[in-house]
Amino acid sequence: MHNQDFPQLESVERIEQGFEAHGYVCSRKIATAVFLAFQLRKPVLVEGPPGVGKTELAKTIAVLLDTPLIRLQCYEGLDEAKALYEWKYGKQLLYTQVLKEKLGDLLKGADGLAESVERLHLFGDIFYSEEFLEPRPLLKAMQQEKGAILLIDEVDKSDYEFESLLLEILSEYQVSIPEIGTVKATTSPMVFLTSNNTRDISDALKRRCLHLYIPFPSVELEERIIQTRVPNVQEQLRHQLVAFVHSLRQLDLKKAPAISETIDWARSLLLLHADELDEEIVRSTLNVLLKYEDDIEATDSALRSLLVGEDTSQPGH
C-alpha cells in the first residue's frame, strides 16, 4: 500500500482523529503502532484479552481507508486449502470430459504413441494454471490491485504448522505454488494478526511482526469510548457504570467484562431508562456483563459493597 494513496495514515495524530471519527477511541500507543506498521510495511501482532478491540482495530482501519477487509478466522486444523488456495476440481473435471470428447479430433492423423503424447504436451498443464485456481483469504489479499487490510484473526487457535505457512507471506508478501511458481502481491496488504494468548506464538512469527498489546482501558479512556459509542448516556451514569465495571475486573472471575460488554451494558441501561445505578438495576442486568453463572453469583453476593465502593469514587464523596 502506497503512502500517497492513504494520507489518513500520515501521522499518529491523524490516525487518532480518523479512528475517533469512526467510533474507535484508542490510546496513543495503538495509533503509534498503526503508523509504524504502515510506514515500515510490517504486520502487527495484536495481543490482549478478548473483547478489548483487537478485531475492531482492523475493521476500523479498513473503513478509514475505504479498503477491502479480508478476514481469515483461524481454528485448529486450518490448512493451506482453506487459507491460501485450492484447485477448482469441479471445473477441472468438466474440462476433462470436454477434452475426452475432443480427444479423437486432437489425435487424428498422429503416427504412433510418441506423436500422440507430443501433441498432448502442446496443451501444457492447463489444469494447473491460474484459471483453475480458487484463491482463499491469504492469496486473495495479495491479489488486490490497491491493497487490502488482511485480518488473520485468533492466530493462537491455529496449529504451529499453519504459522510456518505464514512466514513467507508475512516477510516477502509472496507465496510459492508448486504448479505455478512464486506469486507476489500486486500491492502488499496491511496485515493484522490477533491473539487471545491461549498459547505462545512462535518466535519466528513474532520476529516478522510489530507487537501490540491492548489491555483493558483506563477509566478515563473507557469513559471516552462509552461517550462515543453510546452518546445518550448521561455523564453521571457513564461514570458510575464504568467505575462498576472496573471494580468487577478486580474480582477473581472466570471472564472479566470486556469493553464490548461495557458498551452493551450502557445500551441496556439506556433502554431500561436508568438514570443511576442501584442494586435492583445492576442485579437484573448482570447477565449482560458476565457470561458465567458462577461469576454472576459471586458478584451478586458482593454487590452492595461493590456499589458502595463505586459510589465513594464519585466526585464530592
Helix-helix angle 303-312:235-248, to 10 degrees: 130
Single-letter amino acid code for the residue at 256 = A
- Which tens digit of pLDDT belongs to each residue from 205-260? 999 999 999 999 999 999 999 999 999 999 999 999 999 999 999 999 999 999 99
pLDDT score at 317 = 39
Residue 54's φ and ψ, nearest 5 degrees, are -70, -50
Mean pLDDT of the chain: 88
Q: What is the pTM of this model?
A: 0.81
Helix-helix angle 279-289:259-271, to 10 degrees: 140
Q: What is the dihedral of CA 20, 23, 28, 34, to 10 degrees?
A: -100
* Euclidean distance between CA atoms 49 and 305, whole angstroms: 26
pLDDT score at 311 = 52
Rounded to the nearest 5 degrees, what angle is found at the Cα of 11, between the Cα atoms of 8 and 13? 90
With a cut of 50, say whether residue 308 has pLDDT above it: yes
Q: How does residue 114 score in pLDDT terms, banded at 50, 70 and 90? A: confident
Return the HEC string of 237-302: HHHHHHHHHHHHCCCCCCCCCCHHHHHHHHHHHHHCCCCCCCHHHHHHHHHHHCCCHHHHHHHHHC
* Euclidean distance between CA atoms 156 and 197, whole angstroms: 7
- Which tens digit of pLDDT belongs to each residue from 268-280? 999 999 999 999 9
Are 217 and 245 in contact, with CB atoms under 8 Å apart? no
Answer with the residue of higher pLDDT: 21 or 92. 21
Answer with the residue of higher pLDDT: 19 or 122. 19
Are 240 and 313 in contact, with CB atoms under 8 Å apart? no
